[in-house]
Amino acid sequence: MQRRTLLIRGCQAIAAAIMAVLFVPIGRFISAPLFRKSQSSSGAQRVAKLGQLEVGKPMQVPIIGKRQDGWTLYPDSVIGKVWLIRRNEEAENPEECKVDAYSAVCPHIGCGINHSPDKNHFICPCHGAVFDEQGAKMNLEEPGYNNPSPRGMDSLICKVVNSDDGDDFWVEVEYEQFQIGLSEQIKK
């Protein structure tokens, strides 16, 4: 073997080692989100006291949890918002009170849904999607109006529970995020 051939192969081996040292971490950095375990549910979270809810009047509450943005973890951030509607007065057992919870994310393109108290319905300010008080998609009688939402508001599992000390009753919501733009409610 000639000295020139030995030097060329030695330089090629050093270049390959440098490339491996650079590209393996870069490849792992880029592919890390593919291997990250996703949380399918954030679990039940106490969001409001039952006494704070008026019958038939929607109330928006934030959902607090861990949010990860790229590679940074924010432990106590707002990860979503929920509309709560109390459906009946307090019964003998407050745990029997009916409270509905709806995601405040529009199923059309993901904008935040607002409540219009004068018209008693929910409306998305982005493209005018309208929902009734039960979260169902509405078709208004306005000429030329076509509700762009593919489905009604996304309902969430909600229940009334007794507090640890036994004095107060809380509303617990299992917050989920759903895919937007689909006619069916499918979890992300």
Residue 147 lies in a domain: yes
Residues of the chain with pLDDT below 70 are 36-42, 90-92, 143
Q: Are 178 and 185 in contact (CB under 8 A)?
A: yes
Looking at residue 89, what is its pLDDT? 78
Looking at residue 143, what is its pLDDT? 67
135 in the same domain as 162: yes
The residue range of the domain holding 29 is: 1-36
Residue 188 lies in a domain: no
Cα-Cα-Cα-Cα torsion 175, 176, 180, 185, nearest 10 degrees, comes to: -110
Q: Are 173 and 164 in contact (CB under 8 A)?
A: no
Written as one string, the DSSP assignment of 103-164 is ESB-TTT-PBPEEETTTTEEE-TTT--EE-TTS-B----STT-----SS-PPEEEEEEEE-T
Looking at residue 163, what is its pLDDT? 79
Q: What is the CATH number of the domain that holds 109?
A: 2.102.10.10
Counted domains in the chain: 2
Looking at residue 91, what is its pLDDT? 64
